[in-house]
């Protein structure tokens, strides 16, 4: 995946930008509030036309402008010279791929990117839910068929929880509970196995990435922990569904008391280990940052392993709090990914070898050939 050219009109503070990046490292530097993150956000929009800042569409259009448009030429695998356009106008969004109007899901299947943003730093010490979301996002991007599995699981869980709340008033619903147990177990078995396989791949890659960032002085690894499996290791989706079904049955009394489902993949976690200890409890600020960056690079490498093509890598404000050798690694050793890295302090990018640099100032981008 390579972005060849991006033309931006009236997107946030980017009035008119023509961005022609290089095939590998691209550094965008500039002071605060100049538009660097907005530029990365504009690239991210091509992964499915949704902002990573959870912004509403109206916020994306430049203040007082009528419309916003993003036009990107990019290469994917064997197909070079593709063009996608996203346009916001009068509360209407339109997406064109090679001149044909398409839905957002077509973009999702076509353009792949991995993003590090400072708000992801909480991945290590934050809630299990954040880690599950990270996992499911990576899983679904790599294997789009899991989108339906995640949805099925979520729906079955909602239904079962609603039923558990109604049961005290209506005992005749007990038979229905059996149905939802089975559905939840079937979708949950698939989801848990998908996650487990994905985390195994991720683990291989994250060890390498963290090793590189820390110059092989420290070890970082990840493992999937599925509470409903107990100590068992199911060999396939069906075995996983059977174990989950048993766990649901065992938990039934407790679930009825609680009024919600207390076991299953929605309670799982990704265990993250730094050296031999839980990273959640012992990692320093800088180690957390390195670990999250390593997770994102591992996500990108896994995506490349699975889909046969490297996604683009967006790194927003990664440099602060990293020592020189870690910065050097990010600037020069991310290998075959096309990367877009923002930072404030131009001092940080002195060590960039090759690659391209750009200055962002008040929404205007200039290539810096110095």
Ligand X SMILES: Nc1ncnc2c1ncn2[C@@H]1O[C@H](COP(=O)(O)OP(=O)(O)O)[C@@H](O)[C@H]1O
Min separation Cβ 20 and ligand X, Å: 19
30 belongs to the binding site for ligand X (CB under 6 A): yes
Residue among 13, 51, 69, 159 that touches ligand X (CB under 6 A): 13
Kind of pairing between the strands at 92-97 and 79-89: antiparallel
Q: Report whether 36 contacts 316 (CB < 8 A).
A: yes
12 binds, among Mg ion, ligand X, none (CB under 5 to 8 A by kind): ligand X
Using the structure block, give the residue that is written with the tokens 């060999």. Answer: 235
327 binds, among ligand X, Mg ion, none (CB under 5 to 8 A by kind): none
30 binds, among ligand X, Mg ion, none (CB under 5 to 8 A by kind): ligand X
348 belongs to the binding site for ligand X (CB under 6 A): no
Q: What is the dihedral of CA 255, 257, 258, 261, to 10 degrees?
A: 10
Closer residue to ligand X in complex, CB, 26/37: 37
Q: Report whether 264 contacts 184 (CB < 8 A).
A: yes
CB burial string 227-245: b at 16+ within 10 A, e below: ebbeeeebeebeebbebbb
**Which residue number has the CB closest to Mg ion?**
37
Min separation Cβ 39 and Mg ion, Å: 9
Closer residue to ligand X in complex, CB, 65/258: 65
CA dihedral sign of residues 157, 163, 168, 172? negative
Interface residues for ligand X in 34-93 (CB under 6 A)? 34-38, 59, 61-63
Closer residue to ligand X in complex, CB, 12/160: 12
Closer residue to Mg ion in complex, CB, 139/319: 319
345 belongs to the binding site for ligand X (CB under 6 A): no
Taking the C-alpha atoms of residue 339 and residue 25, their distance in angstroms, rounded to an integer, is 5
Taking the C-alpha atoms of residue 288 and residue 242, their distance in angstroms, rounded to an integer, is 37
35 binds, among ligand X, Mg ion, none (CB under 5 to 8 A by kind): ligand X
Min separation Cβ 252 and Mg ion, Å: 49
Min separation Cβ 32 and ligand X, Å: 4
The contacts of residue 250 (CB under 8 Å, 6+ apart) are 263
Angle at 317 between CA 277 and CA 304, to 5 degrees: 70
59 binds, among Mg ion, ligand X, none (CB under 5 to 8 A by kind): ligand X
Closer residue to Mg ion in complex, CB, 11/108: 11
| Residues in binding contact with ligand X, number by CB under 6 A | 15
201 belongs to the binding site for ligand X (CB under 6 A): no
25 belongs to the binding site for ligand X (CB under 6 A): no
* Binding range to ligand X, per CB under 6 A, among 26-34, 218-226, 261-269, 283-291: 26-34
Per DSSP, 24 falls in state S
| Residues in binding contact with Mg ion, number by CB under 5 A | 2
Nearest CA to 341 among 21, 70, 76, 47? 21
Taking the C-alpha atoms of residue 306 and residue 205, their distance in angstroms, rounded to an integer, is 12
Interface pattern 302-341 for ligand X (x via CB under 6 A): ----------------------------------------
Q: How many angstroms separate the Cα of 290 from the Cα of each of 163, 321, 334?
A: 44, 9, 14
Interface residues for Mg ion in 10-69 (CB under 5 A)? 36-37
Per DSSP, 213 falls in state H
261 belongs to the binding site for Mg ion (CB under 5 A): no
Q: Report whether 184 contacts 244 (CB < 8 A).
A: yes
Q: Which residues are at the interface with Mg ion (CB under 5 A)?
A: 36-37
User: Footprint of ligand X on this chain (CB under 6 A)?
Assistant: 12-13, 30, 32-38, 59, 61-63, 360
């Amino acid at each position: 995946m390579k972005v060849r050219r991006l033309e931006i009109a009236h997107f946030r503070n980017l009035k008119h930008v023509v961005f022609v990046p290089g095939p590998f490292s691209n550094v965008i530097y500039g002071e605060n509030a100049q538009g660097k993150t907005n530029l990365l956000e504009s690239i991210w929009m091509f992964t499915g036309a949704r902002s990573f800042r959870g912004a509403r569409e109206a916020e994306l259009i430049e203040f007082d402008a009528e419309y916003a448009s993003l036009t990107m030429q990019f290469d994917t695998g064997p197909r070079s010279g593709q063009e996608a356009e996203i346009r916001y106008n009068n509360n209407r969004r339109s997406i064109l791929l090679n001149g044909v109007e398409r839905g957002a899901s077509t973009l999702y299947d076509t353009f792949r990117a991995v993003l590090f943003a400072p708000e992801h730093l909480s991945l290590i010490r934050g809630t299990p839910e954040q880690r599950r979301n990270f996992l499911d996002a990576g899983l679904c991007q790599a294997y789009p068929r899991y989108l339906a599995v995640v949805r099925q699981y979520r729906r079955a869980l909602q239904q079962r929880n609603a039923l558990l709340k109604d049961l005290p008033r209506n005992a005749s619903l007990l038979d229905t509970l059996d149905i939802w147990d089975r559905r939840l177990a079937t979708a949950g078995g698939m989801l848990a196995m998908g996650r487990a396989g994905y985390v195994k791949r991720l683990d291989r890659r994250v060890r390498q990435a963290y090793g590189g960032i820390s110059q092989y002085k420290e070890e970082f690894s990840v493992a999937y922990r599925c509470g409903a499996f107990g100590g068992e290791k199911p060999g396939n989706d069906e075995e996983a569904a059977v174990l989950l079904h048993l766990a649901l049955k065992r938990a039934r009394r407790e679930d009825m008391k609680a009024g919600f489902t207390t076991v299953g993949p929605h309670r799982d976690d990704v265990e993250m280990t730094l050296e031999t200890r839980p990273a959640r409890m012992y990692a320093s600020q800088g180690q957390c940052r390195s670990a999250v960056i390593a997770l994102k690079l591992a996500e990108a490498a896994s995506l490349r392993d699975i889909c046969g093509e490297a996604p683009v890598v967006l790194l927003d404000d990664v440099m602060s709090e990293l020592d020189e050798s870690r910065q050097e690694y990010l600037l020069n050793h991310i290998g075959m990914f096309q990367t877009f890295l923002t930072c404030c302090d131009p001092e940080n990018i002195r060590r960039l070898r090759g690659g391209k640099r750009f200055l962002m100032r008040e929404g205007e981008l200039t290539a810096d050939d110095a």
